[in-house]
Copies of this chain bind each other. A is one copy, B any other.
Amino acid sequence: MRKKYDIDDILEKGEELLRQQGYNNTGIEDILKACGIPKGSFYNFFKSKEDFGVKALDHYGDKQYEFVSSILINPNLSPLQRLKQFYNTVIGVNVSEDCKYGCLVGNLSQEMGGINDNIGLAADRNFKRIIKLIEACVAEAQEAGEVRNDFPAGELADYLHTSFYGALVRSKAGQNPQPFTHFSKMAFEFLEIK
């Protein structure tokens, strides 16, 4: 009987390689090896490496969406506390990895956005899904009087998370958590009503 392979398992392992090593630095052979699958099985699931990259971004985006939701709807914290907890948690993950790997969405936006439209657009749509979650929490924080309300929640959320992506870039350059600390301080100084 032929062994059955699970697409989620391949995406899970393969997307970690892309996140840690980059897209162009990861060959299909590396993915096959990490997943322990033959080449034919890879091509049963994916038309090409590009197709794998797009599906990896969507799979990663699904996990991000669940993870971010779980923090941003926690009824035991105020909306502003949830926003802070979200960034603290993500920063903690990055620090535990010595700031080496960052976020697949940010990494592939920058590495691939200019040279592969399908991968760039997959990164873009997965960023925007997360922004919607942050926007809802910012809107709640505005209603609760915790966050400035002179701009629409969507605009504040977009600026907040885009700035965080800058901190991700900077933290990788020096493998240094300082850009995260500075982001948290300044971004919430901008947002928070004290």
Residues of A bordering B, CB below 8 Å: 20-25, 99-102, 105-107, 109-115, 117, 120-121, 123-124, 127, 151, 155-156, 158-159, 162-170, 172-176, 179, 182-183, 186-187, 189-190
Contacts and interface: CB of A to CB of B under 8 A. Distances in A.
Given A111-B111, A113-B175, A166-B169, A22 B21 contact: no
Given A111-B110, A166-B166, A168-B110, A173 B127 contact: yes
B115 A22 contact: yes
A85 B151 CA distance: 24
A110 B102 contact: yes
A127 B182 contact: no
Contact of A165 (B102, B158, B169, B186): B169
A176 B187 CA distance: 23
Given A25-B115, A113-B169, A159-B183, 7 more contacts: A20-B114, A22-B115, A106-B110, A117-B175, A159-B182, A165-B169, A165-B170
A61 to B, nearest CB: 12
Contacts of A159: 163, 182-183, 186-187
A179 B167 contact: no
Contacts of A174: 113, 120-121, 124
A167 B172 contact: no
Given A24-B24, A182-B155, A114 B175 contact: yes
Contacts of A173: 105, 109, 113, 120-121, 123-124, 127
